[in-house]
Amino acid sequence: MNIEFYKYQGAGNDFVMIDNRQEVLNKNNTKLIAHLCDRRFGIGADGLILLENHDKADFKMVYYNADGNESSMCGNGGRCITAFANFLGIIKNKATFEAIDGIHHSIIENELVKLQMQDVKTIENHENYQFLNTGSPHHVQIEFDLEILDIKAEGSRIRYGAPYFKEGCNVNFVKKLSEDTFLVRTYERGVEDETLSCGTGVTAVALAMNYIGETEKNSVTLQTQGGKLQVTFEKKGQGYKNIWLIGPAAQVFKGMI
């Protein structure tokens, strides 16, 4: 079986993208999906995204981690699938689509893709970290020696340890650079390693830093290994609304496998 695919990346977070409106891919074949994401024996990606038909929205997004399992929301993936839908002619510069955590709106503007995230109603503030769900669960903690931190080792320890255990959690390490700019490095579950950026992760960082008073800004720049992303938001009580993840999303290549 031959499968046509496209490779997209958003701030270094890369995805295999497949137009699955004709159901060309068997979504229950976990081994195949993991193989496609394998960087040595397959195409190579942090995850695989299917664009599918939807009765009411412009399309449906189905996201799989590199381990082949369907996963929670992927912010950079949501931005990349918007660019993909534009390339396919499904949308022009605005989209409404369904992902695993509900309906999202997105806008393409000046070579950037803006994705509206779900509202965040609560943030757990612990002694050394914050926990919140931005479509995916995220642990956020400040690290002053972020540049030399062993992200894979420390991220794995937290991801599998208390209180997350088997279900796990994405882990974000943060260093404040200025009032509105933070350096972020993220360990992603499902990839089980550091990724060059994580959309739901930088969203979690921006909200957490505002929540604990590290910034009073409602527009925050997040510097990742893969480039810069921006998060804007409005505070609502103990939570946040009108949250937008903003950054580049580009097609890298297409092929057959």
Give the list of residues 6+ apart from residue 129 with CB closer than 8 angstroms, or none.
139, 140, 141
Burial of 38 (0-12, 13-18, 19+ CB in 10 A): middle
> What angle is formed at CA 25 by the lines to CA 20 and CA 30, rounded to 5 degrees?
125
Give the list of residues 6+ apart from residue 4 with CB closer than 8 angstroms, or none.
18, 19, 24, 254, 255, 256
Query: What residues are labeled active site?
Result: 74, 198
